[in-house]
Structure 1
Amino acid sequence: MRVLIFGATGMVGQGALRECLLDPRVEGVVTLGRKATGQHHAKLREIIRADLFDYGPLEAELTGFDACLFCLGIASLGMSEADYSRITHDIPLAAAQALLRQSPRAVFVHVSAAGADSTEKGRVMWARVKGRTENALLRLPFRGVYVLRPAGIRPMHGITSRTTLYRAMYKIAAPLLPLLERTLPRYVTSTERIGKTMLKLVREGSPKPILECEDINRL
């Protein structure tokens, strides 16, 4: 299995990359992003690219993938809807459409968030944008498209968030998160579970295209 990962330097992306590198069924991993992950592994190749909206020069690099794990995201705090949409909607759609042209038999797994608004009409800006992104991706004719909606996420194996506020929150909540993950699976999962779930979806699929936090923990 060859896997392409977007957002591999973020908290969820780090978890996805770790699981891919550990899984013997994954033969090769390519990360595509604005920054290097800082990791070195025989299975890993990194593509550093500043422009994540235009993949024309890279399309030859997008052939032969079995899966794309799209983990790139950003907090909406202080952002206008237009700016948030540009990152949260336009980048994943541009990446997915470019990949579809070169690897149409791939499975595309997108990390969204609990509370995303599939109606695209709610009052909460970030939820509307995420719902619009989910809907657009689910219409693409890949071999499979799946959306994960995690809620609270427990970072494991030394993984940290790049967002200062989130890092502070996780540090405070760290002693409680393992207990909450066990007792409140509807609300808390982990970077390890998300990574393993993504790979399981690629291999086995799911009758549900949208998986909430509890589904991630169950799968």
Structure 2
Amino acid sequence: MGKTRDQNQVIITGATGMVGEGVLMQCLNSTEISRVLVVNRKPCGYTHPKLKEIIHPDFFDFSQIEDQLSGYNACFFCLGITSVGVDQETYYKMTYTLTMHVAETLSRLNKNMTFCYVSGGGTNENSRLKWAQVKGKTENDLAKLPFEQVFNFRPGFIKPLPGQKYAHKFYKYINWLFPIGRAIYPNGFCTMAELGRAMINTLSHNDERRILEGKDIIALAKE
């Protein structure tokens, strides 16, 4: 891939959400990541010697910041919205159209890039559920872009890292369920540490396009 493990330079989106924040924390603490660029609509609240942040309000138009988006070999795309209470047109625009615009821009600006997309359990373009169809179409079309690698992550329940600012408040009331769920249905339960570690470990792979369910995420985290 042209870089050693300690030279990986990563773009992260969604760092003001629970998943993106957790991935950011893992990257900042990893000796295998040398540089992190966070692209947000609002400040993420983190500072670190290897962290740079761009505040950019319009993810459908990167023309003003394109010159700052090259030179990276990975994107950990953690930006997304829930389908609950959102009309189909808005959900499609914010899930498929936005993701593909960012991905198409980055694939054009960065050769040999690995793109990791946080999708969700139950994703399937042929599903009867509209959200699953949209996520599935996004996964399938990302795999067609000229990235070196594309990994679609489908976590279920994610246990946050200690100290996360943007973890959903209800997690502190249901975290006790995690060991029970993990024992009964390990494919649907992973930790934030495992998800972040698995993303970092994709960078030691070469020329892959994969869908990662819960068990796959856990296994990749252990590599």
TM-score, normalization: structure 2? Answer: 0.90
Q: Distance in 2 between matches of 1:39 and 1:84?
A: 29
**Corresponding residue number in structure 1 for 2:97:** 90
In structure 2, the residue matched to 1:49 is 56
1:117-167 per-position Cα deviation (integer Å, ceiling 9, x unaligned): 1xx2322111011001111101111111110000111112222556xxx53
Deviation at 1:55, TM superposition (A): 1.0
Q: Is 1:36 the equivalent of 2:38?
A: no
Q: Which residue of 2 aligns with 1:176?
A: 177
Identify which of 2, 12, 31 aligns with 1:24. 31
- % of aligned pairs identical? 38
Q: Which moved more, 1:63-72 or 1:202-211?
A: 202-211
Distance in 1 between residues matched to 2:128 and 2:39, nearest whole Å? 33
Residues in 2 aligned to 1:206 and 1:148: alpha-carbon distance in whole angstroms:
17
Question: 8 Å contact 1:13–1:71 — kept in the other structure?
Answer: yes
CA distance in 2, matches of 1:211, 1:41: 30
2:197 aligns to what? 196
Shift of 1:183: 5.0
Q: How many residue pairs are counted as aligned between the two chains?
A: 213
In 1, the alpha carbon distance for the partners of 2:136 and 2:118 equals 12
What one-letter code is carried by the residue in structure 2 that aligns with 1:123? R
Task: Give the counterpart letter for 2:197 in structure 1.
Answer: K
Whole-angstrom CA distance in 1 between matches of 2:24 and 2:142: 22
8 Å CA contact 1:185–1:217 kept in 2: the answer is no
For residues 51-94 of structure 1, the C-alpha deviation after alignment (integer angstroms, 9 at most, x for no partner) is 01111111111111010000001111011111001111111111
Asked if residue 9 in structure 1 is aligned to residue 16 in structure 2, the reply is yes
**Runs of 4+ residues deviating >6 angstroms:** none
> What's the TM-score, normalizing by structure 1?
0.92
Residue aligning to 1:143? 148
Q: Corresponding residue for 2:88?
A: 81
Q: Specify every segment of 5 or more residues in structure 1 that has no aligned partner in the other structure, as ranges.
A: none
| Separation in 1, partners of 2:109, 2:62 | 11
Once residues 67 and 134 of structure 2 are traced to their aligned partners in structure 1, the CA distance between those partners, rounded to angstroms, is: 30
Q: How does 1:93-172 map to 2 (within 5 A)?
A: 93-117=100-124, 120-159=125-164, 161=166, 166-168=168-170, 170-172=171-173
